[in-house]
Amino acid sequence: MQSTAINLTGKHMLTLLDYTVEEIDYLLMKASELKQATQKGELNELLRGKSLGMIFENASTRTRVSFEVGMTQLGGHALFLSPKDLQIGRGEPIKDTANVLSRYVDAIMIRTNSHQTVEEFATHATVPVINALTDAYHPCQALADALTIKEKKGALKGLTLVYVGDGNNVAHSLMAVGAKTGMNVTISSPDGYEVDSEIFVRAKEQAKETGAIIKVEQDPLVAAKGADIIYTDVWTSMGYENEQSKHSQDLKPYQVNEGLMAEADSKAIFMHCLPAHRDEEVTSGVIDSAQSVVYDQAENRLHVQKAILASVISHNGC
């Protein structure tokens, strides 16, 4: 089924909460189309002659490779830019960097620690800015997750995803994608690790349009009861390594193990955005089980990235 075109040219991708239900549906359909074309060996050089600037403040495997390969498969070119390679690493204002890069490239992708940084880039850039991960949101990951769930379950609306662990950027974006697709999302975190209250309220409000239920349940075993998807992430995000010992102690009861999976639906799938710390937030038995779809998630980052790039960058024929 070919997606009905929706014009997203020039639109920033900072958080899925800024996108409409129809726009999210379009991006997922576009990703599916591009994935099928890739699997058939069909070339779709929608972005021939276009360039993507990729700014990374942190190490990356899936984000860097998927965006770079995605641009190549679309006929474009991606440039890897680290702070040590840019004047921004020596104190150049974000405003100046954003304005200058906008005159060289057709889109800017940023993986940064502070969400404020990506928002400031978007304020001053004259090309679309894509949030590849901040402390507040991870929209590209959540879209890849939604595509994976749709492939495995046939639909999103009415399903229940339970996220267990630290209420971080991934949890925030899962609430957002649930709100936009009609998928129920329950967050289970201990005291001190809850999701951001403002983001939670915003997601709940937007979920009214699709009928999704966005809620929290502190007890992970209660939360997992009958779930269609169990999802977790590392207990200590990048930049918080000095708190790893405390996080491990506080979050130990929130490990996804065989006992917790047994509370979910018998056909439940397990998800993790990777990289995973095996036998910390998830046991090796679960992540390596037949219920695990973590590598499908990782692959779908490529196809979702291509859908975003093909939609927000100005070109002919999309």
Measured distance CA(10)–CA(315) in Å, rounded: 11
Was 169 annotated as part of a binding site? yes
State which amino acid sits at residue 155: A
Q: In what order do the strands lie in the sheet with 129-133?
A: 77-81, 51-56, 107-111, 129-133
State whether the Cα torsion 109-122-111-273 is positive or negative. negative
Was 273 annotated as part of a binding site? yes
Beta bridge partners of 230: 162, 270
Was 249 annotated as part of a binding site? no
Was 275 annotated as part of a binding site? no
Was 36 annotated as part of a binding site? no
3-state secondary structure of 186: strand
Was 114 annotated as part of a binding site? no
State whether the Cα torsion 179-229-4-70 is positive or negative. positive
Was 238 annotated as part of a binding site? yes
Was 139 annotated as part of a binding site? yes
Measured distance CA(18)–CA(283) in Å, rounded: 35
Was 274 annotated as part of a binding site? yes
Was 116 annotated as part of a binding site? no
How big is the CA angle at 45 (ends 44 and 49), to the nearest 5 degrees?
170
Was 61 annotated as part of a binding site? yes
Was 87 annotated as part of a binding site? yes
Was 141 annotated as part of a binding site? yes
Was 62 annotated as part of a binding site? yes
The string of DSSP codes covering 120-158 is HHHHH-SS-EEEEE-SS--HHHHHHHHHHHHHHHS--TT
Was 237 annotated as part of a binding site? yes
Residue 38: Cβ-neighbour burial (10 angstroms; 0-12, 13-18, 19+): middle
- Residues designated catalytic: 111, 138, 141, 233, 273, 301
User: What number of other Cβ atoms are within 10 A of residue 227's Cβ?
Assistant: 23
Residue that the structure tokens 């890069």 belong to: 101
Whether the CB-CB separation of 124 and 94 falls below 8 Å is answered with: yes
Indicate the annotated binding residues for carbamoyl phosphate: 60-63, 87, 111, 138-141, 273-274, 301
Indicate the annotated binding residues for L-ornithine: 169, 233, 237-238
Indicate the annotated binding residues: 60-63, 87, 111, 138-141, 169, 233, 237-238, 273-274, 301
